[in-house]
C-alpha cells in the first residue's frame, strides 16, 4: 500500500523591496488595495495605518517575527506582527526555533506520520478521529518518515520449533531483518524474521500453519475475522472470499459498505451512523459466521421508547414527589451506552433524587438526567409559604394545617403550646421566625405545614434514627362539646377530629416526614404497626386501613 504523508506548507507573500519609481518610496503598513507591509508611492498607502518614508525592513510596525496560530497549531516564520494579529495569530519577535509552541516532533496517527508541533498533532488527531502518538525524541522529518514506515502492517514470518509460524503485526513490531517483494515458499528464513507487507498470515503463498477465517473478534469498533493462530485478518463479511481477498489486506469499505447496524453480516461498523462491534448474546438470528456483529448504539428503555446513544433518564421504584415516595424506594439514573442500558443508582435512603431535562438537537429531543442531593432537612421549620417553596434552597411542599391540631414531638406529647403554635421538631422548643432568619420574633400561628417533597428514607431498624424523624408526627386535637339539659352533649368544636377522614389526612402529613407509620413499601406491601390513633385513651382503628394511606407517630384526640 502507498504511504500517504501529510503535513502543511505555509506560504506568505510579503513585498519588502522598494518600488521602482522615480518618486520617493514609502513603507505602507497597509495599502489601499489591501496589501501589507509594501513599499509604494505615498498615495497608495492606507492613511488609517502607519506610513513611513523608508524601507519596510527598517520600520518597527513591519518588523518580522514568528506568527503562531494556536487553533491549528501552525507556526509561520518571517511574518509582520500586524499581518499575524489581523489573522488571529500570536506574534513573537523571536525566531521559530526559540518558541516552545513551534518546536517540532513526530506525530504518529495510525499508520501515518507528520513532523509538526504538538498542537498541530492534536488538531490532526481530532480531524482523523483517532489517538495520536507524539514523539519529541525524533529530531528530523527523515526519522519521522522511517517511524511511519514501521507502522506498515503485514505478515511477520519466522521458524519456531521446526514450524513456519506467523504474526500479523507492524513492520516495527516484527523487527524483521529483511522484507521480500517476491514470495518464495521455499525460501529459508534461518537468518531471522521476514516481513511481508499487506499480507495476511493465512495467505497460501506464505505456507504458514495459520488457517484463514476461523472466528471473529472486535477491533477498534469493527468486526474482524481471526485466523487459527489468533491473528486479526480483514473486516468481517459473510462473503468470505471477498473479505479474505486472496490473503491480502483490503480496506474495510471495499469489503462492505459502512454499517449502521442494519446488516448483521457486515462487520464494517460505523459509530457515526450508530453502530459498534459487540458480541452476539442471542440464540438465533445472529451473524452467519462468528459471534460478533455491528450492534446499534441506540437503546430501548423499559417503556419501549428508543433512546439515542448517550441519552439518560430517571427511573424510580414507584410514585414519587409530593410526599408519596413509598418506604424503601430509591431513585435511579439510566443511560444508553453503545446499545446497552446502564443503571446508576442515586444515593440510598433518598438522600439523592433524580431530575430530568432535555436538549433539542437536529436529531430530535436528547434526554438528560442527573442525581442531585435531596434538600429536605429544614422543611419542617419553615412557617412561611414563600420560604417553604424556595426551590433554590430546599425541596419542600406547602400543606394546609389541620384545624384544631397541635403538632408537637412525640417526646413531649403533653405539650400545651396552644392550637396552631409552632413547636420545634425533636427539641420541643419554640421556633422564632421562619427558619431563614436569625433574629428572635414572636411565635407565629401556623397556618400551614412545610413538608419534604421527597420524604427521606429511614433506617427503621435504628430506633434512635427513625424516632428522631417520625417523632415530629405527634398530633393532639381537643374536641369540645356542649352539654344539654337532659345529659346529652353536642360537639361544637373540632368535631372532624373524631372522623376517619381526619385520621387519614393527619397521617398523610405524618408519612411525608419519611418512612413513618402505616404505609406501603416499594413492593406495594402495606403495614399498619407504625401508628396509633386514640380517642380519650382508647385505641381506634379505621374500618379500612387503606384510608390511612400514610401515617406516622401518634394521633391523639381528647374530648372536653
Sequence-ordered list of residues with C-beta below 8 angstroms from that of 438, at least 6 positions apart, any chain: none
**CB 360: neighbour CB atoms within 10 A?**
8
Q: What is the pLDDT of residue 541?
A: 66
Q: How many whole angstroms from its chain centre is CA 345?
A: 15
Q: Report which of 12, 47, 42 is spatially closest to residue 27, judged by C-alpha positions.
A: 42
Please state, in angstroms and rounded to a whole number, the distance separating the CA atoms of residues 86 and 62.
13
Provide, rounded to the nearest whole percent, the portion of the chain with pLDDT above 90: 26
Please state, in angstroms and rounded to a whole number, the distance separating the CA atoms of residues 495 and 498.
6
Q: What is the pLDDT of residue 293?
A: 94
Name the more confident of 302 and 545.
Answer: 302
pLDDT at 529 over 50: yes
* C-alpha pair distances (Å), 317 with each of 314, 332, 380: 11, 9, 25
What are the DSSP calls for 10-47, one per residue? -------SPP--SS--EEEEEBTTS-EEEEE-GGGB-T
In the chain, what are the helix, strand and coil shares in percent, each to the nearest 5?
Answer: 15, 35, 50
Would you place residue 45 in the very low, low, confident or very high pLDDT band (cuts 50, 70, 90)? very high
Please state, in angstroms and rounded to a whole number, the distance separating the CA atoms of residues 251 and 267.
12
Please state, in angstroms and rounded to a whole number, the distance separating the CA atoms of residues 407 and 450.
12
Please state, in angstroms and rounded to a whole number, the distance separating the CA atoms of residues 89 and 66.
10
Please state, in angstroms and rounded to a whole number, the distance separating the CA atoms of residues 284 and 58.
81
Q: Rounded mean pLDDT of 96-121? A: 82
Q: What is the pLDDT of residue 548?
A: 43
Please state, in angstroms and rounded to a whole number, the distance separating the CA atoms of residues 423 and 428.
6
When mean pLDDT is compared across 142-151, 244-253, 308-317, the lowest value belongs to 142-151
Q: How many whole angstroms from its chain centre is CA 89?
A: 33
| H helical segments located in 238-320 | 240-244, 252-255
Name the more confident of 6 and 316.
Answer: 316
Name the more confident of 451 and 487.
Answer: 451
When mean pLDDT is compared across 73-82, 203-212, 428-437, 503-512, the lowest value belongs to 428-437
Q: What is the pLDDT of residue 326?
A: 85
Beta partners for residue 4, in sequence order: none
Q: What is the pLDDT of residue 170?
A: 87
**CB 426: neighbour CB atoms within 10 A?**
16
pLDDT in tens, 272-296: 888 999 999 877 788 999 999 999 9
What is the DSSP secondary structure assignment for residue 199, as one 8-state letter? B
3-state secondary structure of 363: coil
Q: Which regions of 73-231 does DSSP assign to beta strands (E)?
A: 74-80, 90-92, 104-109, 112-117, 132-135, 153-160, 163-170, 178-179, 194-197, 215-219, 222-226
Sequence-ordered list of residues with C-beta below 8 angstroms from that of 265, at least 6 positions apart, any chain: 236, 237, 238, 287, 288
Please state, in angstroms and rounded to a whole number, the distance separating the CA atoms of residues 339 and 296.
6
Please state, in angstroms and rounded to a whole number, the distance separating the CA atoms of residues 11 and 77.
10
Q: What is the pLDDT of residue 198?
A: 92
By the 8 A CB rule, do 233 and 225 touch? yes
Q: What is the pLDDT of residue 460?
A: 61
By the 8 A CB rule, do 358 and 366 touch? yes
Would you place residue 406 in the very low, low, confident or very high pLDDT band (cuts 50, 70, 90)? low
| H helical segments located in 459-555 | 463-470, 500-511
By the 8 A CB rule, do 403 and 496 touch? yes
Please state, in angstroms and rounded to a whole number, the distance separating the CA atoms of residues 496 and 143.
93
Q: What is the pLDDT of residue 466?
A: 67
Q: Rounded mean pLDDT of 499-507? A: 78
Q: Rounded mean pLDDT of 335-362? A: 90
When mean pLDDT is compared across 5-9, 105-109, 117-121, the lowest value belongs to 5-9
3-state secondary structure of 230: coil
When mean pLDDT is compared across 83-87, 103-107, 386-390, the lowest value belongs to 83-87
Name the more confident of 202 and 141.
Answer: 202
Burial grade of 150 (CB within 10 A; 0-12, 13-18, 19 or more) = middle
When mean pLDDT is compared across 67-81, 150-164, 214-228, 387-401, the lowest value belongs to 67-81
By the 8 A CB rule, do 328 and 521 touch? yes
Q: What is the pLDDT of residue 264?
A: 93
* C-alpha pair distances (Å), 397 with each of 74, 308, 325: 58, 34, 14
pLDDT at 311 over 70: yes
**23-41 burial string, b = 16+ CB within 10 Å, else e?**
eebbbbbbbeeebbbbbbe
Name the more confident of 16 and 193.
Answer: 193
Give the mean pLDDT of the chain: 78
What is the DSSP secondary structure assignment for residue 86, as one 8-state letter? H
Q: What is the pLDDT of residue 214?
A: 96
When mean pLDDT is compared across 118-122, 281-285, 409-413, 436-440, the lowest value belongs to 409-413
Q: Report which of 265, 264, 262, 281 is spatially closest to residue 273, judged by C-alpha positions.
A: 262
pLDDT in tens, 22-43: 455 889 988 988 888 888 888 8
Largest Cα separation within the chain, whole Å, is 135
pLDDT in tens, 146-197: 777 777 889 999 988 888 899 999 888 887 655 554 454 444 444 478 999 9
Q: Rounded mean pLDDT of 73-86? A: 82
When mean pLDDT is compared across 195-204, 494-503, 528-537, the lowest value belongs to 528-537
pLDDT at 77 over 80: yes
Name the more confident of 151 and 311.
Answer: 311
Enter the C-alpha cell of residue 150: 514501521
Q: What is the pLDDT of residue 176?
A: 62
pLDDT at 431 over 80: no
Q: Rounded mean pLDDT of 337-359? A: 90
When mean pLDDT is compared across 69-83, 87-101, 395-409, the lowest value belongs to 395-409
Q: What is the pLDDT of residue 386?
A: 92
Name the more confident of 240 and 404.
Answer: 240
Measured CA angle at 376 (ends 385, 411), to 5 deg: 90
Question: Residue 127 is inside which H or E element, if any?
Answer: helix 118-128
Q: What is the pLDDT of residue 16?
A: 39
Amino acid at each position: 500500500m502507498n504511504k500517504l504523508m501529510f503535513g502543511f506548507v505555509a506560504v506568505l507573500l510579503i513585498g519588502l523591496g522598494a518600488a521602482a519609481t522615480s518618486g520617493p518610496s514609502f513603507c505602507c503598513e497597509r495599502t489601499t488595495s489591501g496589501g501589507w507591509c509594501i513599499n509604494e508611492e505615498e498615495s497608495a498607502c492606507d492613511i488609517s495605518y502607519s506610513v513611513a518614508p523608508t524601507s519596510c525592513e527598517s520600520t518597527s510596525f513591519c518588523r518580522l517575527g514568528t506568527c503562531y496560530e494556536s487553533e491549528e497549531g501552525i507556526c509561520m516564520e518571517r511574518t509582520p506582527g500586524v499581518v499575524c494579529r489581523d489573522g488571529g495569530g500570536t506574534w513573537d519577535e523571536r525566531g521559530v526555533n526559540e518558541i516552545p509552541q513551534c518546536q517540532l516532533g513526530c506525530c504518529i496517527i495510525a499508520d501515518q506520520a507528520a513532523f509538526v508541533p504538538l498542537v498541530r498533532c492534536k488538531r490532526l488527531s481530532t480531524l482523523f478521529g483517532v489517538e495520536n502518538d507524539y514523539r519529541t525524541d525524533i529530531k528530523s522529518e527523515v526519522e519521522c518518515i522511517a517511524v511511519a514506515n514501521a507502522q506498515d502492517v503485514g505478515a511477520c514470518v519466522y521458524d519456531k520449533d521446526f514450524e513456519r509460524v506467523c504474526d500479523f503485526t507492524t513492520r516495527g513490531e516484527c523487527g524483521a531483518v529483511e522484507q521480500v517483494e517476491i514470495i518464495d515458499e521455499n525460501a529459508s528464513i534461518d537468518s531471522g524474521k521476514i516481513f511481508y507487507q499487506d499480507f495476511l498470515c493465512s495467505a497460501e503463498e506464505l505456507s504458514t500453519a495459520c488457517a484463514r477465517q476461523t472466528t471473529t473478534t472486535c477491533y477498534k469498533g469493527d468486526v474482524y475475522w481471526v485466523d487459527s493462530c489468533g491473528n486479526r485478518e480483514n473486516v468481517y463479511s459473510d462473503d468470505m472470499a471477498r473479505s479474505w481477498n486472496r490473503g491480502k489486506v483490503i480496506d474495510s469499505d471495499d469489503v462492505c459498505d459502512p454499517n449502521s447496524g442494519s446488516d448483521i453480516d457486515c462487520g464494517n461498523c460505523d459509530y457515526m451512523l450508530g453502530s459498534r462491534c459487540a458480541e452476539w448474546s442471542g440464540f438465533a438470528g445472529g451473524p452467519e459466521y462468528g459471534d460478533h456483529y455491528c450492534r446499534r448504539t441506540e437503546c430501548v428503555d423499559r417503556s419501549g421508547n428508543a433512546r439515542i446513544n448517550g441519552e439518560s433518564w430517571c427511573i424510580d421504584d414507584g410514585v414519587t414527589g409530593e410526599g408519596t415516595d413509598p418506604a424503601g424506594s430509591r431513585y435511579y439514573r439510566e443511560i444508553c451506552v453503545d446499545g446497552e442500558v446502564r443503571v446508576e443508582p442515586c444515593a440510598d435512603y433518598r438522600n439523592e433524587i433524580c431530575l430530568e431535562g432535555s436538549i433539542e438537537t437536529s436529531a430530535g429531543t436528547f434526554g438528560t438526567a442527573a442525581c442531585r442531593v435531596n434538600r429536605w432537612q429544614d422543611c419542617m421549620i419553615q412557617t412561611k409559604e414563600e420560604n417553604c417553596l424556595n426551590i433554590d434552597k430546599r425541596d419542600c411542599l406547602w400543606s394546609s394545617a389541620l384545624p384544631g391540631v397541635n403538632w408537637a414531638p412525640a417526646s413531649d406529647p403533653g405539650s400545651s403550646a396552644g392550637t396552631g403554635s409552632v413547636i420545634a421538631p425533636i427539641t420541643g422548643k419554640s421556633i422564632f421566625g421562619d427558619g431563614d432568619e436569625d433574629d428572635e420574633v414572636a411565635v407565629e400561628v401556623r397556618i400551614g405545614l412545610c413538608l419534604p417533597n421527597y420524604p427521606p428514607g429511614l433506617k427503621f431498624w435504628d430506633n434512635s434514627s427513625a424516632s428522631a424523624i417520625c417523632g415530629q408526627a405527634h398530633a393532639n386535637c381537643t374536641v369540645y362539646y356542649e352539654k344539654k339539659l337532659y345529659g346529652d352533649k353536642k360537639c361544637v368544636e373540632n368535631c372532624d377530629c373524631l372522623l376517619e377522614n381526619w385520621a387519614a389526612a393527619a397521617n398523610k402529613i405524618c408519612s411525608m416526614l419519611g418512612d413513618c407509620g402505616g404505609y406501603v413499601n416499594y413492593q406495594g406491601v402495606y403495614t399498619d404497626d407504625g401508628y396509633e390513633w386514640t380517642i380519650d385513651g382508647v385505641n381506634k382503628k379505621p374500618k379500612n386501613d387503606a384510608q390511612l394511606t400514610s401515617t406516622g407517630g401518634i394521633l391523639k384526640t381528647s374530648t372536653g
